[in-house]
Amino acid sequence: MRIHIRPIHRGCLRWLLAALLIGLPCNTALHAQELRPVFEPIPVWTLSVNGEVSDTSEVFYSRTLGAFLVLAPDFDEPVMLSARTREVTALQGLKLVPKKDGSYQLLPNAVDKALGAFQIVGGDVVRFKVDGKDAMLKKRPWLTGDQTATHIRAMNVQYDRDARAYTPDPDAVARLKAQHGDIHVMIYFGEWCPHCAKIVPTILSLQQALGKSDIRFSYYGLPTTLSDDPIFDKMHLEGVPTGIVYRNEKEIGRIYGTPWEHPGAAILNVLQSG
Amino acid sequence: MSDSMPTPPAWQRAVGRLAAIGLGAVLLIAAWAKAIDPVAFGEQIRALGLDLLLPAGAIAMLAVALEAGLGSALILGARRLVVLVPTGLLVVFFLLLTGRAWWRSAHGMAEAVAGCGCFGNLVQRTPAQAFLEDALLMVPALALAFLARPRARRFRKRLVAAGVIGVAALLLAWRAPSLPLDDLATRLRPGVSIDALCVGEEGTPGRVCLSDIVPEAENGRDWVILTELDTAAFTRVIPDLNRYVLRQGKAGVWVVCTASTDDVQSFMWQWGPAFEIRQAPPALMRPLYRRLPRSFEVQDGIVTATIDGVPPGLSGNAHPHSAAEGD
């Protein structure tokens, strides 16, 4: 049996379902759910089942449970791996409620089915079995080289989620839309870099908000040892994230540090001073 | 023959004496800064590759003793060549170190943050600042200390006194790691704002402050634990920390480490933490501790208490705030 639990339950229907499942009025359920384990998406882990990469799988983490949740079409049910006990269990899909922000909430009384234990091999491979299938979670390499916003958001669910949660300053967006000419913003980032994890999603969000404006965005991922990529020295970069703003293919300014807290205003500032 | 030499004018004697006192004070303060955290000083010696003949820790101890001895000899007025020449060599040595760090940083060979130079790990300066400030503080004073050197009376007694101070500094450096001097030896102490604990120059890409790492601590009351993720003193309290965070029902505890993102992910699979882990650059974190783990309580962005280790209230049953107050 394959259970599809991806975002089919949205809005009030989701709350209604949750309320029905636990037999409580909708408003009580809303309050109580705040205290229940929430699985938040985590990027960079890829699932292989019987040696084949499962492209549509997703991995989540719950701080409350100290457990990882794997959703994959290869498994009949969601699979939970508890880091605190090393146990693998299958969860009843209907006990997981998808939330608007891409996370999942575990409802009480979820029925677990013990599937054994998982093993950590090296630091970045996790092996386990689900109904006789050999499953392996492996950290994928960091995004490096030329990247597009679409690809970054598809590969890094955390970036995508944070980009959706961020609302760019409407005034800055309007003023950036009013800019004309060949404007190009090149973003150098490191997917491994905690600062980039905060800032790049806001830039992705800004890019989306700008839509079809005259401002083009490009992204370039750098490795953990920045200078391993010759582009780092060639572009005289000093750290990540760094944005280089070009007008008519000529560099007019760079953005790094505190100004990234407001990417729209930061780009406007460069455009106005350049 | 020296009896026939004319007595230098009083102002020259005064300038020479004051310069010697000034230089001596600089050396004593520098010796103190290193003596209270000899481990960090030893790390700097090792990083510079100066531990060729002796272990870095031993060189650090001897350097502290020498610096304190020479500094106190100058303050006591012992301006003989036997004091001034080694002092001059020490000053040249410091300038070579800071000059080298500046050159390396300017050529992209080192991080642009200097912890070395005369004041050890206590003061954060860029390599350029370290070199220029050390040069300005020491070179003129050294030159002027040669001015109108008196025939020192009771020279031997002063030298013995300076030697005693040097030995005392050596003993302090030896015992310091086990003394409760963290607040003195590091930049992290009660009253400090987390947005003032930074690394890198203002307006440069390398500028990072503790408030950037844990922005949540700018509001409310939180605990921050500085640690290595694999150190036993930390891993053995992880289940207690998890329980504490879950009992609180909010984050409240932030673990700050220098581990790579890969290592953090491995840690999550190993331990299933309920607390959040934040990564900080080593240059930001190193001046905040002498030994890991070290923790601090922060209220609305201001450090209110520091703890050597993990607060017992978080790792056991006692209330964390009572633990902090007792520290």
Question: Does the pLDDT of residue A184 top 50, yes or no?
Answer: yes
A226 to chain B: which residues are within 8 Å by CB?
none
Q: What is the spatial distance between Cα A61 and Cα A71, in angstroms, rounded to a whole number?
A: 12
Helices B127-145 and B81-106 meet at what angle, rounded to 10? 160
The half-sphere exposure of A241 on its side-chain side, counting CA atoms within 13 A, is 29
**Closest B-chain CA to A123:** B266
Q: Is A239 on the interface with B (CB under 8 A)?
A: yes
Question: Does the pLDDT of residue B24 top 60, yes or no?
Answer: yes
Q: Is B254 on the interface with A (CB under 8 A)?
A: no
> CB–CB of A257 and B275 under 8 A?
no
- Specify whether the CB–CB gap between A126 and A81 falls below 8 A: yes
Q: What is the spatial distance between Cα B52 and Cα B31, in angstroms, rounded to a whole number?
A: 22
pLDDT computed for residue B208 by the predictor: 81
Question: Does the pLDDT of residue A22 top 50, yes or no?
Answer: no
Total residue length of chain A: 274
pLDDT computed for residue B320 by the predictor: 46
B274 to chain A: which residues are within 8 Å by CB?
63-64, 66
Q: What is the spatial distance between Cα B37 and Cα B122, in angstroms, rounded to a whole number?
A: 9
Every domain of chain A and the residues it spans: 7-139, 145-273
Mean pLDDT of chain B: 84
Using 50, 70 and 90 to split pLDDT, how confident is the model at A158? confident
- Specify whether the CB–CB gap between B90 and B66 falls below 8 A: yes
> CB–CB of B272 and A83 under 8 A?
yes
pLDDT computed for residue B205 by the predictor: 62
Cα separations (Å) of B318 from A209, B200, B225? 50, 38, 17
> CB–CB of B265 and A192 under 8 A?
no
Taking residues A188-194, report their average pLDDT.
Answer: 88
Q: What is the spatial distance between Cα B307 and Cα B319, in angstroms, rounded to a whole number?
A: 14
pLDDT digits (tens, 9 = 90+) for A228-243: 899 998 998 888 889 9
Exposure of B30 by Cβ count < 10 A (0-12 exposed, 13-18 middle, 19+ buried)?
A: buried
pLDDT digits (tens, 9 = 90+) for B142-168: 989 888 787 767 788 889 999 999 999
Q: Is B7 on the interface with A (CB under 8 A)?
A: no
Q: What is the spatial distance between Cα B275 and Cα B163, in angstroms, rounded to a whole number?
A: 51
> pLDDT exceeding 70 applies to what percent of chain B?
86
Among A25-34, A192-201, B88-97, B270-279, name the one with the lowest average pLDDT. Answer: A25-34
B216 to chain A: which residues are within 8 Å by CB?
none
Q: For A139, which of B207, B262, B278 is closest by C-beta distance?
A: B262
- Taken in order of first residue, the domains within chain B and their CATH numbers are 10-179 (no CATH), 184-325 (3.40.30.10)
* CA-wise closest residue to A21 among A7, A33, A39, A10: A33
- Specify whether the CB–CB gap between B240 and B247 falls below 8 A: no
Among A79-83, B23-27, B240-244, B312-316, name the one with the lowest average pLDDT. Answer: B312-316
* CA-wise closest residue to B320 among A91, B306, B181: B306
- Specify whether the CB–CB gap between A187 and A203 falls below 8 A: yes
pLDDT digits (tens, 9 = 90+) for A66-91: 999 999 999 989 999 999 999 999 98
pLDDT computed for residue A8 by the predictor: 38
Q: How many CB atoms lie within 10 A of CB B158?
A: 21
Show the 3-state SS of B198-257: EECCCCCCCCEEHHHHCHHHHCCEEEEEECCCCCHHHHCCHHHHHHHHHHHCCCCEEEEE
Question: Does the pLDDT of residue A261 top 90, yes or no?
Answer: no
Which of A64, A143, A188 is the best residue to mutate to test the B interface, defined by the most B CB atoms within 10 Å of its own CB? A64
Question: Does the pLDDT of residue B118 top 50, yes or no?
Answer: no
Q: Identify the residue with better confidence: A12 or A247.
A: A247
Using 50, 70 and 90 to split pLDDT, how confident is the model at B107? low
pLDDT computed for residue A263 by the predictor: 93
Question: Does the pLDDT of residue B3 top 70, yes or no?
Answer: no
Q: For A66, which of B213, B265, B273 is closest by C-beta distance?
A: B273
Task: Classify A145-273 by CATH class.
Answer: alpha beta
DSSP label at A212? S
pLDDT digits (tens, 9 = 90+) for B226-275: 999 999 999 999 999 998 888 877 668 999 999 988 888 889 999 999 99
- Specify whether the CB–CB gap between B267 and B261 falls below 8 A: no
pLDDT computed for residue A202 by the predictor: 95
> CB–CB of A238 and B270 under 8 A?
no
pLDDT digits (tens, 9 = 90+) for B47-100: 878 888 899 999 999 999 999 999 999 999 888 898 999 999 999 988 888 888
> CB–CB of A82 and B272 under 8 A?
yes
Taking residues B171-185, report their average pLDDT.
Answer: 91
Q: Is B195 on the interface with A (CB under 8 A)?
A: no
- Interface A-B, measured as beta-carbon pairs within 8 A, has a size of 69
Phi, psi of B125 (to 5 degrees): -140, 155
Cα separations (Å) of A104 from A32, A60, A69, B301? 15, 8, 9, 32
> CB–CB of B208 and A195 under 8 A?
yes
B214 to chain A: which residues are within 8 Å by CB?
none
pLDDT digits (tens, 9 = 90+) for B296-311: 999 999 999 999 999 8
Cα separations (Å) of B130 from A145, A182, B81, B205? 37, 44, 27, 20
pLDDT computed for residue B108 by the predictor: 56
B254 to chain A: which residues are within 8 Å by CB?
none
Q: What is the spatial distance between Cα A199 and Cα A267, in angstroms, rounded to a whole number?
A: 13
Question: Does the pLDDT of residue B30 top 60, yes or no?
Answer: yes
Q: Which residue type is seen at B224?
A: V
